[in-house]
Chains A and B, each alone.
Chain A
Amino acid sequence: QQQVKQSPQSLIVQKGGIPIINCAYENTAFDYFPWYQQFPGKGPALLIAIRPDVSEKKEGRFTISFNKSAKQFSLHIMDSQPGDSATYFCAASKGAQKLVFGQGTRLTINP
């Protein structure tokens, strides 16, 4: 049972564009929603995270939008750069329980 569904699987955007990656979850008890960024040959690194008591969180060029009623959250990257090319994973957890990861999105930013 896939509890977190991520889309699209891959995404190509021109430099300066705004890639959007979406995730949908099933378990309404989830209360922590992080995004991880992974470069080739590296482990994933926490990028940004949100709790369900807010609808949006910004950190630099990265924004999470959260829609509790729709059970969806998304990552937006403003003014995208070639250096943002990576695989992005959304995840969710309930309290301190183990994370459930999405399937990943391979993002390419063309110069």
Chain B
Amino acid sequence: EADIYQTPRYLVIGTGKKITLECSQTMGHDKMYWYQQDPGMELHLIHYSYGVNSTEKGDLSSESTVSRIRTEHFPLTLESARPSHTSQYLCASGQAGGSYNEQFFGPGTRLTVL
């Protein structure tokens, strides 16, 4: 079983608040990803990183930002939360190199912005 953790699991917050969703993995993976997903719906890649100090925007435009200062940590920040940010946020990691792109997912953070 993959060791990838997300906190908090659930967050209800008011409009305009700054929030940070935490993601950490203990597998030493170089690659990390953030996906946005409405429950049971399609996965949308919003950010990814292939290593420390490397971050890229994903396929879905997002007002969130990410940082990758340590290999094991990939936090996502929303400077000013809005109701349109209500969704589930999934973090994933994978090993760089090789010819496969297996990703291990965390349990997700369910964000509700009132």
Contacts and interface: CB of A to CB of B under 8 A. Distances in A.
Interface of A: 31-32, 34, 36, 38, 40-46, 49, 87, 89, 93, 95-99, 101-104, 106
A63 to B, nearest CB: 19
Given A43-B105, A95-B101, 11 more contacts: A32-B100, A34-B102, A43-B90, A43-B92, A89-B43, A98-B33, A98-B45, A98-B58, A99-B103, A103-B41, A104-B40
Contacts of A36: 105
A98 B101 contact: yes
A87 B105 contact: no
Q: Is the interface of B mostly helix, strand, loop or mixed?
A: loop
Interface residues of B, number: 24
Given A44-B90, A87-B40, A97 B101 contact: yes
Contacts of A95: 99, 101
A96 B105 contact: no
18 contacts: A32-B100, A34-B102, A38-B40, A41-B108, A42-B107, A43-B106, A49-B100, A87-B40, A93-B101, A95-B99, A96-B99, A96-B101, A97-B101, A98-B45, A98-B101, A99-B101, A104-B42, A104-B43
Nearest to B104: A46
Most B Cβ at <10 Å: residue of A34, A36, A43: A43
A12 to B, nearest CB: 15
B43 A44 contact: yes
Contacts of B42: 101-104
A95 B33 CA distance: 17
B107 A43 contact: yes
Contacts of A44: 43, 90, 105
